[in-house]
């Protein structure tokens, strides 16, 4: 029993050493000073932010992922957010105020700069990179939280690494602000609200992760000479944290709920709408807290209403109890279908099939080239052989489109060879021609 306790104690100590965040921790005062310095938004920091916003806006405008990543690398937006998290953790109301003020300033300047760019640019289409920043998902919450953890851990080390630039890319604070600017410039407030929503979620969870690591590392809290004032500061910070965290938790819950709904709806459509002569050409999942909707557009043979009602009854099996199934087909579908797009899609599939078939035939034809000159070898092995002919031929099957090849070899002897001689000759031809299929015809 004693040996067993020593064994488990040794494992615990090993794990504790491996995951000890206090190892190589920088001086606490240096860490606090460094984070406070990053909170400032004036002079070079402000100009760097403006230039980064222009670069990110151009990247979103031309749909260039590389340009967007470059903009995120030079963005100084992480500073105020980590400053707020540090201020909350050490009960420094002045740092919280300063960080909040600078973050608000940076946010407004970023949106204004982006809106200006999208107002003057001749390219006004919303590209995929931009649209991706209008609807937050649960993965954005996870990325912001774990990215923030990585960022504050790196900031508390003696030797700085390349983690901070990676965190700036992963947490993606710049693109949502640029998307918000696009929404303002184009008058699309859905894009604006969705992007601000994503930016808020990212900021709150980066701040939360900073708070958790600072408290875990036991940074000293700010001491107040007046205890009454200190308690008042603590209450203010608690109110600020509550005002920020409760909405973000609610929003994160709604994001999770939406992600689950969309996943279940996708599984429902994939499993239940498998028909030989009917196809789903478009599906839209509309999430609402009270009544979500699955909107499907079908082409092909019209499904009877009884079939649709039967499928609808299976929504509960996919935890879609409150969802409504809307199926458009027949005349309703014709008004919604882009037939030119479907025609192009069908032609593309036909072209791919023809290309694959032609490629197969070309490979088979190449395999049917003439055989090498075997006269000298065959004369030495079979003196009675008068003449021969041979070729690799294609076998076409009537029950399938598949083809095969066979080597046909016709030999004429002055004297008919024995059965053993025929077998030996056929085996020799297989090895010499490196083929598995030889048909020997002796005359």
Q: Which of 81-85, 168-172, 203-207, 438-442 has the lowest mean pLDDT?
A: 168-172
CB atoms within 10 A of CB 155: 22
pLDDT in tens, 367-422: 445 677 888 788 777 888 888 888 777 777 666 666 677 888 888 888 888 888 88
Task: Report helix angle 138-155 to 227-272, nearest 10.
Answer: 140
Q: What residues contact 429, with CB distance under 8 A and at least 6 apart?
A: 407, 409, 438, 440
CA distance 146 to 207: 11
294/320 Cα distance (integer angstroms): 10
Domains and CATH numbers, the chain: 1-222 (1.20.1080), 276-365 (no CATH), 374-442 (3.30.300)
CA 107 – CA 99 distance, rounded (Å): 12
What pLDDT, on a 0 to 100 scale, did the predictor assign at position 149? 84
Cα–chain-centroid distance for residue 234? 41
Which whole number is the average pLDDT over 214-243? 74
CB atoms near residue 26 (< 10 Å): 15
Q: Is the pLDDT of residue 131 over 60?
A: no
pTM over 0.85: no
Distance of CA 342 to the CA centre of its chain: 26
Place of tokens 């087909």: 329
CA distances from 270 to 87, 286, 342 (A): 49, 17, 20
Instruction: Specify the pLDDT at position 396.
Output: 74
Q: Residue 67 corresponds to which tokens in the numbers above?
A: 């340009």
Distance CA 284, CA 298 (A): 12
Q: How does the average pLDDT of the chain come out, rounded? A: 77
- What is residue 108's predicted lDDT score, i.e. its pLDDT? 92
95-120: average pLDDT: 89
């Amino acid at each position: 029993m004693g040996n067993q306790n020593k064994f488990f104690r040794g494992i615990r100590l090993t794990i504790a050493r491996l995951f000890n965040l206090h190892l190589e921790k920088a001086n606490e005062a240096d860490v606090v000073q460094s984070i406070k310095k990053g909170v400032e938004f004036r002079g070079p920091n402000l100009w760097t932010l403006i230039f980064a916003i222009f670069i990110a806006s151009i990247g979103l405008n031309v749909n260039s992922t590389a340009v967007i990543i470059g903009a995120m690398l030079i963005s100084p937006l992480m500073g105020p957010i980590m400053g707020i998290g540090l201020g909350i953790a050490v009960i420094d109301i002045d740092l919280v105020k300063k960080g909040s003020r600078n973050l608000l300033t940076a946010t407004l300047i970023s949106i204004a700069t982006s809106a200006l760019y999208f107002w003057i640019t001749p390219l006004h289409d919303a590209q995929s990179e931009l649209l991706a920043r209008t609807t937050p998902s649960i993965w954005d919450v996870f990325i912001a939280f774990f990215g923030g953890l990585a960022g504050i851990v790196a900031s508390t080390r003696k030797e700085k690494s390349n983690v901070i630039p990676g965190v700036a890319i992963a947490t993606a604070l710049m693109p949502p602000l640029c998307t918000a600017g696009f929404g303002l410039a184009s008058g699309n407030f859905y894009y604006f609200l969705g992007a601000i929503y994503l930016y808020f979620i990212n900021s709150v969870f980066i701040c939360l992760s900073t708070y958790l690591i600072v408290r875990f590392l036991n940074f000293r809290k700010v001491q107040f000479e007046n205890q009454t004032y200190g308690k008042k500061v603590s209450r203010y910070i608690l109110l600020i944290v509550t005002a920020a965290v409760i909405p973000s938790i609610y929003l994160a819950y709604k994001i999770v709920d939406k992600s689950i709904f969309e996943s279940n709806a996708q599984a429902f459509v994939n499993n239940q709408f498998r028909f030989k002569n009917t196809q789903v050409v478009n599906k839209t999942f509309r999430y609402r807290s009270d009544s979500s909707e699955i909107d499907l557009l079908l082409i092909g043979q019209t499904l009877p209403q009884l079939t649709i009602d039967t499928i609808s009854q299976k929504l509960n099996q996919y935890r879609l109890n409150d969802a409504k199934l809307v199926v458009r087909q027949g005349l309703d579908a014709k008004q919604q279908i882009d037939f030119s797009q479907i025609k192009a899609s069908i032609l593309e599939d036909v072209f791919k099939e023809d290309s694959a078939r032609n490629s197969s035939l070309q490979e088979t034809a190449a395999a049917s080239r003439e055989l090498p000159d075997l006269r000298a070898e065959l004369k030495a092995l079979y003196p009675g052989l008068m003449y021969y002919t041979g070729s690799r031929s294609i076998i076409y099957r009537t029950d399938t489109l598949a083809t095969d090849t066979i080597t046909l070899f016709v030999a004429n002897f002055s004297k008919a060879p024995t059965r053993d001689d025929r077998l030996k000759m056929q085996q020799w031809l297989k090895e010499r021609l490196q083929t598995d299929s030889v048909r020997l015809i002796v005359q």
